[in-house]
């Protein structure tokens, strides 16, 4: 089984088909890319679909785009990792309720040569300041994703505006995490990434984890039902069934059991 990733044209056609589709048996999840690219859905969805008969179609984009798609009523469930933006989505009436689902952490990775000398640091802000001061290249997603939002929050706390050096040492790819990691490896640039994508990423070259362990690098994922009062097309019953399953003991155990190369990628915390 492979995750059904929908392009915009396919999604539009599916939504337009509306009445012709067995809506009771299908939902659209607007999702961050890390959950899809890590293989988590390939692990989870066969269990859920076999148990419930509900078909889950995943649209994997950056968190900012996923939230905008959900605001446009192009989905039933939102699963992303930018808690302030998720809470605003609910406060605006677009989501019914937000639930913590699971977590991992962000990392700073870079080349073995480590031109900014940040290897082993546990203070992410100090490491970013050191990278900026050295003028060593840094590749940013620059795409309003959850990872990009976190990165910009950390930069803001340092008082450094990296966008002032856009196109110089600061390189914005406007791409997903995998593509940004590929670009970073190609140019020998530091990259901030979520751990799940890094573990699953195969083109590491001489790159390694250089900075980790700072509590500011905590990466929480949340799940929200799109509000059917705002979006009448939402399949609320099936969407809520999916959320309830993810939050259940069975779903949480399944999330915790997912590993790549013997490493756990996500840590369930719905009951925390």
| Structure tokens, 112 | 């073995």
What is the residue-wise DSSP string for 226-265? E-TTT-TT--HHHHHHHHHHHHSHHHHHHHHH-EETTEE-
3-class DSSP assignment, residue 63: helix
Enter the DSSP assignment of 162: G
Is residue 3, in this structure, part of any structural domain at all? no
**Domain residues for 89?**
8-103+219-268
26's CB contacts (< 8 A; 6+ apart) are 54, 55, 56, 57, 235, 238
Is residue 258, in this structure, part of any structural domain at all? yes
| Number of domains observed in the structure of the chain | 2
Model pLDDT, residue 5: 54
Q: How far apart are CA 38 and CA 50, in angstroms?
A: 21
CA 259 to chain centre: 17
Read off the pTM.
0.88
Q: Do residue 13 and residue 85 come from a single domain?
A: yes
CATH number of the domain enclosing 176: 3.40.190.10
Q: Do residue 213 and residue 125 come from a single domain?
A: yes
Q: Do residue 32 and residue 49 come from a single domain?
A: yes
Q: Do residue 13 and residue 34 come from a single domain?
A: yes
Q: Do residue 226 and residue 92 come from a single domain?
A: yes
Q: Kindly tell me the sign of the dihedral angle through the C-alpha atoms of 30, 35, 38, 43.
A: negative
pLDDT tens digit at each of 272 positions of the chain: 444 555 544 455 444 444 334 446 999 999 999 999 899 999 999 999 999 999 999 999 999 999 999 999 999 999 999 999 999 999 999 999 999 999 999 999 999 999 999 999 999 999 999 999 999 999 999 999 999 999 999 999 999 999 999 999 999 999 999 999 999 999 999 999 999 999 999 999 999 999 999 999 999 999 999 999 999 999 999 999 999 999 999 999 999 999 999 999 999 999 87
Q: Do residue 88 and residue 72 come from a single domain?
A: yes
Q: Do residue 22 and residue 87 come from a single domain?
A: yes
Q: Do residue 77 and residue 203 come from a single domain?
A: no
| Structure tokens, 173 | 């790819």
Strand pairing of 259-260 and 263-264?
Answer: antiparallel
Model pLDDT, residue 22: 41
What is the residue-wise DSSP string for 201-217? ----TTEEEEE---GGG
């Amino acid at each position: 089984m492979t995750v059904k990733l929908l392009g915009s044209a396919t999604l539009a056609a599916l939504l337009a088909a509306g009445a012709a589709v067995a809506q009771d048996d299908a939902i659209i999840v607007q999702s961050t890319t890390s959950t899809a690219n890590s293989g988590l859905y390939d692990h989870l969805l066969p269990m859920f679909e076999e148990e419930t008969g509900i078909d889950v179609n995943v649209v994997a984009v950056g968190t900012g785009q996923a939230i905008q798609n959900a605001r446009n009523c192009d989905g039933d469930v939102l699963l992303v990792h930018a808690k302030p933006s998720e809470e605003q989505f609910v406060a605006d009436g677009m989501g019914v309720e937000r639930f913590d689902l699971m977590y991992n952490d962000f990392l700073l990775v870079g080349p073995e040569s480590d031109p900014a000398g940040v290897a082993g640091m546990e203070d992410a802000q100090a490491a970013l300041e050191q990278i900026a001061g050295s003028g060593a290249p840094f590749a940013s997603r620059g795409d309003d994703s959850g990872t990009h939002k976190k990165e910009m929050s950390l930069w803001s706390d340092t008082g450094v505006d990296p966008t002032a050096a856009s196109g110089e040492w600061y390189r914005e790819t406007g791409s997903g995490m995998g593509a940004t990691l590929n670009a970073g490896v190609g140019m020998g640039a530091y990259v901030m990434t979520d751990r799940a994508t890094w573990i699953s990423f195969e083109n590491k070259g001489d790159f390694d984890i250089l900075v980790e362990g700072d509590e500011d690098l905590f990466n929480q994922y949340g799940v929200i039902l799109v509000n059917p009062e705002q979006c009448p097309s939402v399949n609320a019953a099936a969407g809520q069934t999916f959320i309830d399953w993810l939050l259940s003991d069975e779903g949480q155990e399944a999330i915790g059991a997912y590993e790549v190369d013997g490493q756990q990628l996500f840590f369930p915390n719905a009951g925390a």
